A and B are shown apart, each in its own frame.
Chain A
Amino acid sequence: DAKTTQPPSMDCAEGRAANLPCNHSTISGNEYVYWYRQIHSQGPQYIIHGLKNNETNEMASLIITEDRKSSTLILPHATLRDTAVYYCIVRVAKEYGNKLVFGAGTILRVKS
């Protein structure tokens, strides 16, 4: 699975959009981009995933560049409860599932 690079930390004002970048320059055509987050003392939580088109769900939006070498997770109106470690993970789809390879992630601090 391709390696990802994320900034170690970011701050965001409550109510503003949080834009979390991720570089995955070695991504290959059959690899998906997944985003998870871990709120303190909880298990990782799935947020969103995509292949090449932009995706949106009730939690966030995922913007993937046309060359697929980078992506941005957008939390449109960050709240204090969005303070967490956010992980960008690239993985190949396999018939019987595939492990997630976690990096250090980005610590997002939402401040009032």
Chain B
Amino acid sequence: EAGVTQFPSHSVIEKGQTVTLRCDPISGHDNLYWYRRVMGKEIKFLLHFVKESKQDESGMPNNRFLAERTGGTYSTLKVQPAELEDSGVYFCASSHTPDRLQETQYFGPGTRLLVL
């Protein structure tokens, strides 16, 4: 079974440009999460999809960030325009909840974003 995949693995852009990150969850997983770690800080939650619906987007930092999950499969996270403080590692995770008490999130390898 393929794990969570993320693309690209690295991205270097200039301030003011746009970047789109992609996450492909494990097949059949309804839950998809985005997290990020900025330099020197802890991993922080950004948002959570259940299928194509945003269940919780309380962690999104501002309106420069837009996440979509059309069709309930893969998801994209777009940053427009990117700022220096957006640099960090963006992780995607997925899970399914046949038993809601036993949910396990599986993480992708992350996308390393550097804004210059």
Known: A32-B101, A44-B91. A99 touches B56 (CB 8 A): yes
Size of interface on A: residues with Cβ below 8 Å to B: 21
B103 contacts which chain A residues (CB < 8 A)? 93, 97-98
Partner of B50, one of A32, A45, A96, A100: A96
Task: Flag whether B108 is at the interface (Cβ < 8 A).
Answer: yes
Task: Flag whether A13 is at the interface (Cβ < 8 A).
Answer: no
Task: Flag whether B64 is at the interface (Cβ < 8 A).
Answer: no
Size of interface on B: residues with Cβ below 8 Å to A: 28
Residues of chain B at the chain A interface (Cβ within 8 Å): 4, 31, 33, 35, 42-45, 48, 50, 55-56, 59, 91, 93, 95, 97, 100-110
CB-based closest 9 A-B pairs: A43-B107, A102-B43, A99-B45, A93-B101, A97-B31, A96-B50, A44-B107, A43-B109, A95-B100
- Pairs A–B under 8 Å by Cβ, sample size 5: A43-B91, A93-B103, A94-B100, A102-B44, A104-B42
Known: A32-B101, A43-B91. A97 touches B48 (CB 8 A): yes
